[in-house]
Structures are given as structure tokens and as C-alpha cells.
Amino acid sequence: MFRNLTPVVRTLLYANLIVYALQWLTGGEQMRELFALWPWGADRDYGAPPFEPWQLVTYAFLHDTSNLWHLLGNMFALYIFGPDVELTLGARRFSLYYFTCVIGAGLTQLLVVHFVSPGPYETIGASGGIFGLLLFYGMAFPHRRLLLLFPPIPMPAWLFVTLYGILELSLGVTGRMQGVAHFAHLGGMVTGFVLIMYWRRGRGVYFG
């Protein structure tokens, strides 16, 4: 089944799995201190590790080693949705899109933490980029049928993405499911939408 993977998706899958293995083998503490996304000023106010610019990318390759589903959920979504998006965009533009969404999600999380809920808590996980891919998939293939796992209800891709976005907004505003960066997920989607609109304006992306 892995023969259908596109080059960048395959590389991202391998990179995330390798980094997860390194986290698990080394305990992961030093990697989190260096490569997780730490809030601005948390080192000054809370004694946390400092924010560094590279963390806006590297945080997306780290996952919670105490919760295997954190990694598996993101990688499953990348495996399911990523190849079609890469085939539509091409490898170079797919890479640009994915990492732009990752950075946009990271910046959104930094702003939310800074202005809404200051604290010394780091952000890790590929979800910001994954949510950007979900948005693109829903816009590019709106009528493809997706089957939810829980509950097993089929629905078109556009509806799935719309409901998922509404759910994330609701969870973020109400503060439910603590420990999940809901606004970062939304930031990945919004960043992806802005980039898609920019490309559409320049006639660089066409949806069939």
C-alpha cells in the first residue's frame, strides 16, 4: 500500500517516525527543549526554554511519546490526504504549502498563548500542517466521500472539513479538551486558505 505514496509525503512520514524513535530512545527531554515551540518570554517569566525561530518548523516533527495516537493520528491523516494534495500541487509547491501551514499554525499558537493564556507550555505535533492539508483536500475534492471512524458515517469532503473546523473553533473558544492546540489547528487551516487564494489569484492552482 505504500507504493502509492508521493515523494514528499513519504519523506515526511519517515522523518516523523525517525524523530519519534529518537525521542523515545533518548527520553526526548533535550529534544523538546531545543525543538518544541516555546512561548515568547516564557524563559523570562517561567524559567522555560527560550523561543528560537527554528522552532516554528521543528515543533511539527515532535510528538508526545506518552501518547502513541498523537503520532499515529497525524501520520494516518498525512497518508490518506497528503498524496492527492501533492499530486495536485506538485512536490515543490506541496512542500511550500505544508510548511507554510506549519509556520502559520505555530504563529497562531504563539499569539494565543501570549495574549489569551500565558504559560510555560510548549507546542508539538504535525497537526497544523495536517489541518492545512485537510482544508486543501476539502476544497480540491469537495464531493469525494469520506467515511468517519467514530461514528461510521459517510459524508462529502467539504462537509467533513467544515464540521471539523467548526468543532476546533468551538473547543478552542470553550476551553474544552485542555492540552490540545485547537487554535493552532485553525491557524493551519486559515494559513492554507490564504495561500490557496493567493495562488488562485495568480492562476497557479486549479481545482477540478
What is the rounded average pLDDT of the residues 79-86?
94
What are the chain's domains? 2-201 (1.20.1540.10)
What is the rounded average pLDDT of the residues 1-27?
90
Nearest to 20 by CA among 71, 75, 67: 71
- DSSP assignment of 130-165: HHHHHHHHHHHSTT-EEE-SSS--EEEHHHHHHHHH
Contacts of residue 3, Cβ cutoff 8 Å, sequence gap at least 6: none
Q: Is the pLDDT of residue 178 over 60?
A: no
Q: Which residue has the cell 473553533?
A: 169
Task: Please write the tens of the pLDDT for every residue from 49-74.
Answer: 999 999 999 999 999 988 888 899 89
Q: Across all residues in the chain, what is the average pLDDT?
A: 87
39 or 147, higher pLDDT: 39
Q: How confident is the model at residue 184 (pLDDT cuts 50, 70, 90)?
A: confident
Q: How confident is the model at residue 168 (pLDDT cuts 50, 70, 90)?
A: low
